[in-house]
Structure 1
Amino acid sequence: MGGNTPSRRIRADAERSTARILEAAETVLAEDANASLERIADAAGLARATVHRRFASRTALLDALAEQLSRRYLLGLAEARVETAPPLIALHRLTEIVFDLKLSHRFAVQLSAAITPAVLDGLDLLFARLRDTGAITAVDPAWCRRVYLALLHEVHDLPADSTALASSATGDETEAKVDLLVRTALGALGGSHDATTALSLT
């Protein structure tokens, strides 16, 4: 029997439609957070009935956006190797990944549901490892994570011509923001001069 059965084709079509809807929703809602499902359907190039079949309500669509971003956060934690990489390197890599996600998921990053307990656990593990290696002195990983996330929001919103970014050696805006966030977070959490110097050598 061939693997391309009608039921598999239907599932594949449904998955493609769902992906198109979520992509369109991310774009449309970033411009207008109150946009209707009908407007999202138009942007996706799909019949409105198709969107309503996939997502019975606006809440269901928002939940799907949050779940999608949560999965990508978890992939980011894995890619940064927060469990095994030298923690300073993992922090820098994770910050790069999160900034990329904030650019590509401008609406979903505002959804608190995307920050699941598994995502929080991954961040807390990283800050515990930073503490254990002496890169920071703050002892509570949850506090460290809250400081980091607050700084992440503030640094992300800096305009490109901000004087806070002027000291970075790189001419790339995103890399300058990554560098600023990591160094500021380390300093705020009691990071030593040796830790920030080590970071500059990575």
Structure 2
Amino acid sequence: MSSSTTGRPLRADAERSVRAILEAAERVLTENPTASMEQIAEASGLARTTVHRRFSSRQALVDALAASAARQLAQAIEEAYPEDAPPLVALHRATANVLRVKGAWSFALGPAAAQSAQAAELHEQIDHRCLELLDRARTGGVFAPDADLDWIRRVLYALIGESLHGAAPAGSDAGSDADPEALAARIVGTLLHGLGA
């Protein structure tokens, strides 16, 4: 059967187009949150008609961007094997993985893109998975038996956010400030031991 009758190349081409548009939207909107669809199309290297065919409006594009980033965030947590790895190992891996995703998709995971209903649902699932991991850690003695898991989750999120705020861009030569593994070790260490002597 020829590829023209199966439709597979077209589907793969459409997926590549969508990926190019979303990546361009992240770059452009990070620099200019009010950028137009035309500016995003230009940055993607695709025709405006292609962008408008994939996304009916600018808001539809932003919603898709937010949902795509949230899916990557959820996948980053799953790749830490939160149910199988030792809890402390999974916590470190998940933190490093989340840092990588959040560093790459700062606009899509920021407040400007937070109106997407699909992204909001994914973030609820992420919160639930995080609480499950923290509960395993508490059961395993990583945290005190009476530790408030929701408070730990909120502190963890805050530490991740502050670590990324003002951090050097990924790929730059800025030592541990740009290294997700080193940042994760610092975050988990602070979460477990605080800053006291």
Out of 122, 133, 142, the position equivalent to 2:140 is 133
Residues in 1 aligned to 2:68 and 2:167: alpha-carbon distance in whole angstroms: 28
SS in 1 for 2:11: helix
Residue-by-residue CA offset, 1:34-90 (whole Å, 9 max, x unaligned) = 111110000011111111111111211111111111221221112101111111011
Deviation at 1:159, TM superposition (A): 5.1
Deviation at 1:13, TM superposition (A): 2.0
- Please list every run of 5 or more consecutive structure 1 residues that lacks an aligned counterpart in the other structure: 161-170, 189-202
SS in 1 for 2:109: helix
Supply the RMSD in Å over aligned alpha carbons. Answer: 2.2
Please name the residue that 1:103 is paired with.
103
Report if aligned partners of 1:82, 1:91 keep a CA contact under 8 Å in 2.
yes
Which segment drifts farther, 41-50 or 108-117? 108-117
Residues in 1 aligned to 2:64 and 2:140: alpha-carbon distance in whole angstroms: 38
Please name the residue that 1:143 is paired with.
151
SS in 1 for 2:7: helix
C-alpha change, 1:159 and 1:41, in structure 2 (3 Å) is: closer
Report if aligned partners of 2:55, 2:61 keep a CA contact under 8 Å in 1.
yes
Aligned residue identity for 2:182: A
Indicate yes or no: 2:186 matched with 1:180: yes
Identity of aligned pairs, percent?
Answer: 46
Count of residues in correspondence between the two structures: 179
Residue-by-residue CA offset, 1:132-187 (whole Å, 9 max, x unaligned) = 11111253322221111011111222557xxxxxxxxxx53324322221111223
TM normalised by structure 1 equals 0.80
Report if aligned partners of 1:41, 1:47 keep a CA contact under 8 Å in 2.
yes
